[in-house]
Amino acid sequence: EVQLVESGGGLVQPGGSLRLSCAASGFTFSSYWMHWVRQAPGKGLVWVSRTNSDGSRTNYADSAKGRFTISRDNAKNTLYLQMNSLRAEDTAVYYCARVGAADGPIDYWGQGTLVTVSS
């Protein structure tokens, strides 16, 4: 069974940093593109970032460029999102997600981890 379990969310002050993790199991992690998608409270889904199977390629939404870094450790079956210079508007549930093929649909989602940016 495919499982994606996020952790690392919490309350952080504006300008602060946080690193999210996503532990993957039930599939060959090193074979898949992985993404982060976020959802502000009561709002819609917004794509944040993606990385290819070996981590050599990454893409970011404009809102994340220069502040967020996606990475992965295939030996640990874990995806990361390092978030720096956090703003109030980054407050959201962050979902880890798997894509079966580059540019394809998201076929599995984690349950999400809540990040709250507030003083």
* Residues near other proteins, by CB under 8 A: 35, 37, 44-47, 50, 59, 61, 95, 103-107, 109-112
Q: What is the DSSP letter of 25?
A: E
Residue 47 CB, nearest approach to other proteins (Å): 4
Residue 105 CB, nearest approach to other proteins (Å): 4
Tokens of 42: 């009561």
HEC readout, 83-116: ECCCCHHHCEEEEEEEECCCCCCEEEECCCEEEE
Report the residue number, 27 or 109, with the smaller CB distance to other proteins. Answer: 109
- The neighbouring-strand residues paired with 93 are 39, 114
Residue 107 CB, nearest approach to other proteins (Å): 6
Q: Which of 96, 85, 94 is nearest to 25 (CA)?
A: 96
Residue 80 CB, nearest approach to other proteins (Å): 19
Report the residue number, 63 or 77, with the smaller CB distance to other proteins. Answer: 63
Report the residue number, 89 or 107, with the smaller CB distance to other proteins. Answer: 107
